[in-house]
Amino acid sequence: MFGRLIELLAGGWDYIAPFVVVDAYEYAVILRFGRYHRTNEPGFCWKIPLAERAIGVNSCTTTLRLAPQSLTTKDEAAVVVSAIVKYKIADPRPYVIEVWDQIDVLADVTMGAIARQVRLLNATELFSDPPEKPVAAAVRRQVARYGFEVEAVTFTDAARAKSLRLVAPHGKDLAN
């Protein structure tokens, strides 16, 4: 009986506690009855039990390794490109409130920017000078509204790839 009471209190402590301690490496987004109320910086802060809930958001710089992308350059060369995004959360409010899967948003936007830049270059240009700065600038513009601060995009690998088209262009039959 006593063990069950301890489990219940431990599980509900975040809801009934009148305070939250925000660690030095994070922010706390405070929701009051499910709506954004405020953002707290590191330290001790009061909250209204049962009415307010704190959501921790890491504020440290971190990286995201993107999956390799198979792309085609301006000169029709098939290439595979891999990259890493270095970022941190600068504004925790939109990061928590306006995006469902934050890391997917960052990955998808970055991969889209890489694809657009690769299509503008021929293979020789891509391999000699990867478009890291224009990709980072494009990603920075697109994800800033969601609270991200993109510090850099680094191409970790770019190589020619053998390509086999399994789907015919519209209106053509591969059998003939």
Tell me: the pLDDT tens digits for 45-101? 999 999 999 999 999 999 999 999 999 999 999 999 999 999 999 999 999 999 999
Residue 39, number of CB atoms within 10 A of its CB: 17
CA 165, 166, 167, 171 torsion-angle sign = positive
| Mean pLDDT score of the chain | 91
Per the structure block, which two tokens stand in for 113?
């920017």
Q: What is the mean pLDDT of residues 123-139?
A: 96
Query: Percent of the chain beyond pLDDT 90?
Result: 81
* pLDDT digit string, tens, across residues 98-107: 999 999 999 9
Q: Please, where in the chain does CATH 3.30.479.30 lie?
A: 62-160
Indicate the residue type of 21: V
Which pLDDT score is estimated for 1?
Answer: 72
CA–CA distance, 150 with 144 (Å, rounded to integer)? 8
pLDDT of residue 4: 75
Instruction: Judge whether residue 143 has pLDDT over 90.
Output: yes
Residue 163 or residue 88, greater confidence: 88
Rounded-to-integer distance, Cα 98 and Cα 55, Å: 14
**CATH of range 62-160; options 1.10.600.10, 3.30.479.30, 2.60.260.20, 3.30.9.90:** 3.30.479.30
pLDDT for the residue numbered 174: 54
pLDDT at site 8: 65
Q: pLDDT tens digit string along 26-42? A: 999 999 999 999 999 99
What's the CA gap between 119 and 131, in Å, rounded? 11
pLDDT band at 153 (very low <50, low <70, confident <90, very high): very high
Residue by residue, DSSP assigns 72-100 as E-TT--EEEEEEEEEEEES-HHHHHHS-S
**pTM listed for this prediction:** 0.82
